[in-house]
Amino acid sequence: MPVRAVRSVATQWRNPNGLPGDELPIEWCGPRAARVGSRSAGKVSGRISLEHYRATFTPMGDGFHGYDPDGALIQLGMPTSGSLLVWFVPRRGEPAELRVEVSTVDPSGSEAKVDAREERAQLSDNGPLRLQLQELEADQPYRLIASFVERGVEQRRVLDVRTAPAAGTSSAFSFLSSSCIQPFAEEKGETIVTEQTVRSLWLYRRRAQGTSAPAPAFALGLGDQVYVDSGGRAMLTGMHRQRARYGRGEAAAFFEAAYRGQFSLPPLVSARAALPSAMMWDDHEIRDGWGAQLDENAREGSELRWEEHLRAARHHFIAWQSFRNPMRSDAEPDVRARALLGHDLTQSPELDFEAEWGASASFFVMDQRSARSAAAARVVSDAQLERLRRWLNRPRFCPTLLVLGSPMPITQLRRPVELVEYLIPARWDDLRDSWWSKACRGQRDTILQLLQSFFRAHPEHRLLILSGDVHFCEVLELSDQGRIFGHEVVSSGLAHDKLHRFGRGSPRNAKALAFGLGSAGLGAFHGPCFAELFVNPALNGPPDVEVTFHTATSADGASLANPDGAMPPRLPLPLSSRASCGEDLLQRFILRPEPGSCPKARAAGFQ
């Protein structure tokens, strides 16, 4: 897995006419980082051409062979008990023509073809295709043979996937939770990928493919799956990312290049072809702190300044990410209508979704960007709050794990030392963007009160909140007047452009949130990693829940960890006993750090 040290290697990029262009020097700096020469000097700034933006990164080394940011991709979306979802994007510039054959697979490996009703959706003719295969049996393994043409040659891909359990069935399963995928760092005018990112993506691919243990059932991405505003491939610049590096009319083409460049990274391609996924966006798919900058509806002359940018951001999020998600029953059936903007850019149609996994677990994943406005003290619309209330109170006939996805952590508490951020103007938008800010606290308390009222009335169920955003991982224990009724698992981020040391985790002793609710931190970890949740039916009561974190580095980021891709230990929730004073439970998940492997030449993300 370690990246080979390769120096003074050159590759060619091609200009729009398909002719050889300038050579870009590629260099792997020791064992730590993949590095490619950038055609702009100094820090990310100023206008760039689309051809330059597409050509800024060409990775090499173990795990990145065959990287083709223009190539076709076929991956799996979130299954239901009666359907499977295939997501496909053709090679850039080619039509999205896809054929899929569906077969059942019995325990002996024998296949039998079945007829599945197809439902297709696209936002644009050559853009990503959502293909839902319906009228299938629950909890059954299927083999999909997908055929398409790329560069005039017919390609075939085999996808093995299972439908979700039936509504009344309880079964054990696990799933992955991650956020914040920022693989492209920028250093001295060059785009690099650090080896901590290579290790983290390698671990993610192994778990998706079930290499080290039985594969999870699916994966959730809880925001910032793409960064368009920071790192080595930023298309926005300035302190608050207020300036575009592209020209008028180019936003859509730049967003396509950003999505293709990141979604085509080989470890992610392999993982998402093996493991169904569902995704929600956060600010970095649009702009850092979108909805909290207070200039979202600013005008330049007669035009809304951010209209073109937001239209492209929303179009590409829906086509590349939301197309993998279950569709809300009350959502606009015309997908093109869902991609439209509101007259107020902070009041566009929301894209929250729900999912069921048999009788064991029910999911509600919030959209906290489409209607976010710090000026209006709003994170989500009243309509989304009502959908959340209806989801909580839906009739259920056995104890269930209720999973609330919130891209922003909702039960974290700030420590006094972090109040120094109020003295840093560059952080003011982040302060307005958090659930504990004055502008957001009202809706946060509304959600907490909804949860408190429901779980007081229905103690047979169990709460699990999943979140991301903050670039460190944490487990929080939630209590209501001393009774533990749920947990929040923060998983952020899967790939870092650098090691983030801000955010120290929540206090270990329960502190008041609101209405008698308390929150206590069980530990935090700042390196790149992702969470895996294990759900096991219990005889009397809600399912048992365990969590583990797949960590790529040591706690200080100075060395890599888990070179074998082994399964870390699991942490049962709630804890049978409290951690000893000063013990950080999340440090238990760091497997076999490699001391002394830190390179002499510093690479981004390593001390």
Taken in order 229, 232, 237, 241, the sign of the CA dihedral is positive
Is 491's pLDDT higher than 80?
Answer: yes
Alpha-carbon distance of 114 to 421, in angstroms, equals 59
pLDDT at residue 489, rounded to an integer: 97
d(CA 236, CA 229): 5
Amino acid in the structure at residue 151: R
Instruction: Evaluate whether 532 touches 175 at the Cβ level (below 8 Å).
Output: yes
Kindly tell me if the per-residue pLDDT of 581 is higher than 60.
Answer: no
**Which residues, including other chains, have CB under 8 Å from residue 596's CB and lie 6 or more apart?**
559
Rounded to whole angstroms, how far apart are CA atoms 86 and 91?
16
pLDDT of residue 42: 36
- Proportion of the chain above pLDDT 70, given as a percent: 84
Backbone angles phi, psi at 357, to 5 degrees: -125, 80
Name the pLDDT band for 22 (thresholds 50, 70, 90).
Answer: very low
Question: What's the rounded mean pLDDT across residues 402-420?
Answer: 82
**Domains, the chain, with CATH or none:** 82-162 (2.60.40), 173-589 (3.60.21)
Residue 304: helix, strand or coil by DSSP?
Answer: strand
Q: Tell me the torsion sign for CA atoms 408, 261, 130, 174.
A: negative
pLDDT given at position 504: 63
pTM: 0.90
> What is the residue type of 373?
S
User: In the sheet that 218-222 helps form, which strands lie side by side, from edge to edge?
Assistant: 277-280, 218-222, 173-178, 529-536, 544-551, 571-573
Q: How many Cβ atoms from other residues are within 10 Å of residue 563's Cβ?
A: 15
Alpha-carbon distance of 279 to 603, in angstroms, equals: 30
Q: Which of 92-106, 179-193, 309-323 has the lowest mean pLDDT?
A: 179-193
Question: Which helix H or strand E contains 426, and what residues bound it?
Answer: none
Residue 512 has pLDDT above 90, yes or no: no
